[in-house]
Amino acid sequence: MPHSPSNTDIVVIGSGISGLSAALTAAEGGAKVMLFEKQRSFGGTSNFFEGTFAVESEMQREKYITYSRDDAFKAIMEYSHWRANPRLVRAIVNESAETISWLLRQGVEFSDMTINMPDEPRTYHVPKGTGAAVVKVVVDRAREMGVDLRLSAPVKKILKEGGRITGVIFEENNQEKAVNAAAVMIATGGYANNKDWIKKYTGFDLGVNLLPVGNIDKMGDGVRMAWEVGADEEGIDVLEMYRVGPMGPDYVMKGPAELISIQPDLWVTQQGERFCDEGITFYETSIGNANARFNEGYTYSLFDESIKQEIIEKGTVKSQGQDKPPGTRPVEFDEELKVALEKGSRDLFAGAFP
């Protein structure tokens, strides 16, 4: 045990929006707070989100959007076939409107309310500047409120004495240090980069038939530490999966090749067999579930010259994030295809048929 530990009221582990919001809220309530982040920058994958769910928000009321908390709760529970934890779902739904109000009070600006599925209620609140802008606002406010923010300082262990949480051990400048605290909040994310856990809990092989898009060094540290102090296990085998287009080094992320390949044209397996109604392309979880049936880790999108030209001339029917809404015309696809083929792409192919 490191000598002469420092003291604080609350320790927060992880600097995504969840951790930052917890730290700032505690500081607003008068607590002395320390936040630890193992990466060299704040936010993690929170930097990349383009919108957040809420119902009965003040923004929705201004637009006469009447979709209610009860409507959302029922829809989510039905969508999960009542396998989701109803108390957690109810808590998330009921707090969602106040979450938007709280972010607005901190200085976060929102540009729109939308949705990326046909004929669904507008529950997707879009911040200006994506998640990175939200992270910056909350980090700045946390600093103003005196939160002690520590980067490159991974927490190694949560301390417990006599059934009570008493603090944490963390690493900083290659030295282990301790801090005493009355409470510890864990907001570290999942285990998307932990090959052994992925295999153990989900049966997939990381990097073979499952790719951790956008995740870096997520090894389940917070989950492990929570278990070590007695937390229960629930939902550890649940993944959110979806289908992306070509992701190799020959392509631009969210570029023309990926944009065309996610459209509902013709999707087939390695054996050339159609495996789903491509209309599910608007529902990411359904796409992930359909593709998860195949252990190869990928399926194919087929389209000919006429389909390609129609998409280029008339635009897409499915969006690709907020910056590429339906109607986007991937006019640079031919150029990207040419470069990929010249480099011997293993993901993008072209051929002539009689």
Two tokens at 285?
A: 């979880």
Angle at 258 between CA 253 and CA 261, to 5 degrees: 170
Indicate the pLDDT class of residue 322, thresholds 50, 70 and 90: confident
Residues 47 and 132: their CA atoms lie apart, in Å, by 4
Percent of the chain with pLDDT over 90: 77
CB atoms within 10 A of CB 211: 16
Residues 254 and 252: their CA atoms lie apart, in Å, by 6
Please, are residues 200 and 237 in contact by the beta-carbon 8 Å criterion? no
Residues 310 and 178: their CA atoms lie apart, in Å, by 62
Q: What is the pLDDT of residues 214-269, one digit of tens each?
A: 888 999 999 999 999 999 999 999 988 888 877 655 555 668 988 999 999 999 99
Q: What is the pLDDT of residues 203-217, one digit of tens each?
A: 999 988 998 888 889
Indicate the pLDDT class of residue 91, thresholds 50, 70 and 90: very high
Residue from 195, 192, 198, 141 nearest 26 by CA? 141
Per-residue pLDDT at 2: 53
Burial (CB count <10 Å: 0-12, 13-18, 19+), residue 327 = exposed
Mean pLDDT of 325-347: 90
Residues 24 and 138: their CA atoms lie apart, in Å, by 7
Residue from 235, 202, 205, 228 nearest 88 by CA? 235
- In order of 55, 271, 307, 335, the CA distances from 313 in angstroms are 37, 31, 10, 16
Residue from 56, 52, 74 nearest 66 by CA? 56
Question: How far, in whole angstroms, is CA 181 from its chain's centroid?
Answer: 29
Residues 265 and 28: their CA atoms lie apart, in Å, by 51
Helix (H) or strand (E) holding 341: helix 333-342
Indicate the pLDDT class of residue 311, thresholds 50, 70 and 90: very high
The dihedrals phi and psi of 261, each to the nearest 5 degrees, come to -70, -20
User: Contacts by 90-93 with C-beta closer than 8 Å and gap 24+?
Assistant: 93/55, 93/69
Helices (H) and strands (E) in the chain, counts: 11, 13
Residues 285 and 294: their CA atoms lie apart, in Å, by 15
All structural domains of the chain, each given as residue ranges with its CATH number in brackets, are 6-185 (3.50.50.60), 189-228 (no CATH), 256-342 (no CATH)
Please, are residues 213 and 45 in contact by the beta-carbon 8 Å criterion? no
Please list the residues that pair with 126 across neighbouring strands.
112
Helix (H) or strand (E) holding 284: helix 284-291
Indicate the pLDDT class of residue 346, thresholds 50, 70 and 90: confident
Please, are residues 279 and 303 in contact by the beta-carbon 8 Å criterion? no
Two tokens at 184?
A: 């510890």
Read off the DSSP letter of residue 309.
H
Per-residue pLDDT at 354: 62
Mean pLDDT of the chain: 92
CB atoms within 10 A of CB 221: 21
Return the percent helix, strand and coil in the chain, to nearest 5: 35, 15, 50
Per-residue pLDDT at 345: 84
